[in-house]
Structure 1
């Protein structure tokens, strides 16, 4: 399911480079791949496969939560809390799209146009541009998940060094970045989770989000390959 957290960033990149008409075939490839991979299950029990694989309304157990241990269990299980997290998630994604990712000066609706018909043609995507957008999209989803269980750490642990060091921030020294990484690791390795470990995890997530938002560049520049002297 965590691959869905990358979807907003992927959609933005596709629209930026190809427009709506050009992005649709690429999205079709993603859809066809999912159908092909799930074909054995779809042929055997399509209703069961679809209902259980994409059960967005399932209830998580409070005993396993890593990120919301400091909340009362009644609030953790409350539907209004889940909707508030979803609304915050979507709002923050929209803010990043409007204020951090889309910096051409044109309306966001210009992404739907063919790139050749825009006032400002899109720049070629660099590897850092792509990785930054996808990792940030995934990280925002992690921050506002209804519950993070211990196995969910694999969703984003490998992206944390990049998110911490790729965006320049004078106020966040290397020592503080290492401290953030260490506290996140400690929070995930505390079993059972405690109010302190959950709070520490959210504080570290907030620091990373703040750095991504306040960074002086919307995307880190690609590092040119050095040419070997002959």
Structure 2
């Protein structure tokens, strides 16, 4: 009798997991239809694509000085992984927007699938809440209409999170480093990731995983580090870069003179770090 009672909750839980998985596949199918409609009927937003292609062309022509890799929007400010990814995209699409949109549409569905896996694996929301992950107009726009490098960086980041959930720490850190090599803002996820590593791994394991992640950065940047190391490090990992107020989404309400000031960026960094410390203190360090 005791065995039957103990098996019942397990079977209910398994059925719940299966229902969420089925619902996730339905969401992926429906969102794939939406992506197709967006590509077919919504005009592409021209922002960075031409600049990306110009920067990639300079790299493919043999330029290794980051100071000379430029586009319509200015000099290249992303690490070497960006160049490798967009060189492959240029090769596949011929630099044309429409086939690139199809490629990014597939990437969007892949990214959504990884995110759904993360939430199902973590089991922190009800099944119906998974649909909320498909409703972001901004995410659809970034992937399909603007073709930003954020798309590849965040997909790799989410893949790293999924691997870490499965306790594949070393592979997760390598993928995380790959995400950083495409866009440096992924480093904002590093402090909580380090905390998780310290809680879930031995010190030797943490050191080994961090060494693997660092090695990825060295190998990807090697052609530039050997030729013009100062230019590469100063451009690709420029912590003092000033962003353009016109393209801001979250801080449109901030006056431009405040937005471009070092004091504002410094305050944002301090707030970010303080919130991480508070979160670590009250959520993880118990």
Normalised by the size of structure 1, how large is the TM-score?
Answer: 0.42
Question: Using CA pairs below 8 Å that are at least 6 residues apart, which structure has the higher relative contact order?
Answer: 1
Normalised by the size of structure 2, how large is the TM-score?
Answer: 0.34
